Amino acid sequence: MKEILVILIMCLGLTNKAVATGLTDVNTLKPWDEAEKKLRELLQELETLEERYPNNMEIQLGLAVLYARYAASEHFATKVEEQWKRVLRIDPNNRPAWATSVKRAIQFHTARREAIIKQLERRIESAQKRGSQQLAISRKISYAQTLIRKDDSLTKVPSQEHEFELFPYLSKGNEEVVVISDFDAALRQLKEQLDKELDSMFGILNQAEKLDRDNALYNYLKAHLYFTLDQSESGLREIRNATQKKYLNTYFTETRHGVSIVLQVVNFPNNLRCHIEDVYSPFGDFIRCAICEKGLEPLSRKHGEQGNNESVIEISELMLKIAKQISEEPLPYPSFINPGLSQELEKRAQEFKKEISQKIKNKTEK
C-alpha cells in the first residue's frame, strides 16, 4: 500500500514543460533562457550525483526538484518518479518532499480531470454543430488538422487529439470504437469515473497531513478537491480547518537550498544560478484562483442569494485569515508576490463584508 501511495504522489513528474527548440546562439537568449538551456545540457551529469551522494538528503531533494522542473525527455520522466522514491527512502517523513510532491500531484490530477471533460465537451459541441446525433470515440489516437504559423504563413499539420484518454472511461467491453448517442449520459459517466480517481487522492493527503499537522497546505488541497467535486460545504469545512493551522508552508526555502547545493556541486555558472534557484510558483496564487475565485466566492454569492448573511460574513472573515497565512508563508528572500496576493484577497474580502453589511443595514431600516 505504501509503495502505491509513493508512486501516486510522484505522478506529476510526467508533466514537465517541453524543452524549447531552435535555441542555437546563447548570446541572443534572455538570462533565464540561457540558464535553462545550460541546465538541460548538464542533466546527464546531474544523474551521476545520485550514486555519488546516495544518502545526502539535500542533494537528492534538489535533484528531484530539477528533474521534475526541467527534464522533458521520456528517460527523465521515469527518472522523476525514481528520484522522488529515492528521497522518501532516505527520509520517509521528509516534509519538503511530501509537500512538494503531493501539491504537484493534486494540481496535476484536478487539471487532468478538467482537460478530459473539456475534451469530450468539445467533441460533443462539434458533433452538434454538424447536426449529428451520435459521436464515435476510438481506442486509437485520432489525428486532426491544425493550423500553425510557419514562415509567416498558415500551414496545416496533423495534431493528436489523444482520444485514448477518453476511451477507457466510456468503453464497456472490448470494442475498438464507442458510439455515443446520449451525450448527457456520456458526460455524467465520464465525470463519475474521474471523480472516483480524485476520491483516492484524499488518502494521500491524509497521510501527508499526519506528518505535518500544523501545516494548512493539505487542508487547502483537500478544499480544492472538494470544490472540484462540487462538494462546496465540505470544501468550506476544510478552509475553516486550514485557517486554524499555525502556518502555511510549501517548503520552498528547503527545496531551493537543495537545488542550490546541486548547482554548486556541478559548478553551474554563478551568474545564472539565481534563474534556476529562485523559480517559485506561489501557492498563494493557486489559493486565490482555485479556492477563492472558484470555490469560496461562488459559495458566498449562493448564501447571499439565500439570505444567509452570517455565512457570507464568515466566508469574508475566512478570506482575511487566508490572506494573512499567504503573507506569512516562509520564503528564502523578500518577495512582493505574496504580499500582493494577500492585499488583493483582503480587498475582496472587505468588499464582500461591506456589501453584505449594507444589505443587512438596509433591511433593518426597512
Q: Does the structure show a pLDDT above 70 at 143? A: no
The pLDDT score that the predictor gives to residue 155 is 41
- In this prediction, residue 157 has a pLDDT band, given cuts at 50, 70 and 90, of very low
Question: Tell me, what amino acid is at 108?
Answer: F
Do 326 and 344 sit in the same domain of this protein?
A: yes
Q: Residue 225: is its pLDDT beyond 80?
A: yes
What pLDDT, on the 0 to 100 scale, is given for residue 19? 30
Whole-angstrom distance, CA of residue 253 vs CA of residue 215: 15
* Four-residue CA torsion sign, 80, 83, 88, 94: negative
**Is 52's pLDDT higher than 50?**
yes
Angle at 71 between CA 163 and CA 77, to 5 degrees: 50
Domain coverage including residue 130: 123-196
Over residues 196-223, mean pLDDT: 95
Type of residue numbered 315: I
pLDDT classification of 168: cutoffs 50, 70, 90: confident
The pLDDT of 211-224, averaged and rounded, is: 98
* Phi, psi for residue 251 in degrees, rounded to 5: 60, 35
Among 133, 130, 128, 123, residue whose Cα is nearest residue 187: 123
pLDDT given for residue 21 in this prediction: 30
Question: Are residues 108 and 3 part of one domain?
Answer: yes
Write down the pLDDT at residue 211. 96
Residue 295 belongs to a domain? yes
Distance CA 25, CA 140 (A): 40
More confident site: 61 or 170:
61
pLDDT given at position 295: 94
Per-residue pLDDT band for 164 (boundaries 50, 70, 90) equals low
Is residue 237, in this structure, part of any structural domain at all?
no
Residues 208 and 102 in one domain: yes
Same-domain status, 69 and 216: yes
Are 89 and 161 within one domain? Answer: no
Report residue 167's pLDDT band, with 50, 70 and 90 as the boundaries. confident
What's the whole-number mean pLDDT along residues 16-40?
Answer: 60
- Buried b / exposed e over 77-109, threshold 16 CB at 10 Å, is bebbbebbbbbbeeeeebbbbbbbbbbbbbbeb
* Interval 273-285: pLDDT, tens: 999 999 988 999 9
Which alpha helices (H) appear in the chain, and where do they start and end?
2-9, 31-41, 43-52, 57-70, 74-90, 95-129, 167-170, 183-199, 201-211, 217-228, 232-243, 252-265, 270-277, 283-286, 297-305, 309-327, 337-365
pLDDT score, position 174: 76
Q: Which amino acid is at 94?
A: N
Q: Among candidates 289, 314, 288, 347, which has minimal Cα distance to 233? A: 314
| DSSP code, position 288 | I
Q: Is 273 in the same domain as 308?
A: no
* % of the chain residues with pLDDT over 90: 56
Within this chain, do residues 22 and 56 fall inside the same structural domain, yes or no? yes
Phi, psi of 178 (to 5 degrees): -100, 125
Q: How many distinct structural domains can be found in the chain? A: 3
Domain membership of residue 66 (yes or no) is: yes
> Based on the domain organization, do 12 and 118 belong to the same domain?
yes
Q: Which three cell numbers stand for residue 130?
A: 454538424
In a domain, 346, yes or no: yes
Q: In terms of domains, do 255 and 301 share one?
A: no
Residue 13 has pLDDT above 50, yes or no: no
pLDDT of residue 27: 45
Residues 43 and 187 in one domain: no
Judge whether 214 lies within some domain. yes
pLDDT at residue 294 tops 60: yes
328-365 confidence digits (pLDDT tens): 999 998 888 899 999 999 998 888 777 777 776 666 66
Which residue do the cell numbers 500553425 mark? Answer: 148
Mean pLDDT of 293-314: 89
Confidence of residue 15 (pLDDT cuts 50, 70, 90): very low
Q: Which of 110-114, 119-123, 127-131, 351-355 has the lowest mean pLDDT?
A: 351-355
Domain check: are 287 and 309 in the same one?
A: yes
Greater confidence, 235 or 77? Answer: 235
Mean pLDDT of 14-33: 46
Contacts with 159 (C-beta within 8 Å, 6 or more apart), sequence order: 143, 144, 145, 146
Q: What is each CA distance from 237 to 131, 180, 231, 243, 349, in whole angstroms?
A: 45, 38, 10, 10, 18
Domain for residue 235, yes or no?
A: no
pLDDT at 202 over 90: yes
Span 41-62, average pLDDT = 94
Considering the chain, what is the average pLDDT of its residues? 83
Helix axes 252-265, 270-277, angle to 10 degrees: 150
Residue 117 sits in the same domain as residue 177? no
Q: State residue 310's pLDDT score.
A: 87
Residue 26 resides in a domain? yes
Q: Give a yes or no: residue 236 inside a domain.
A: no
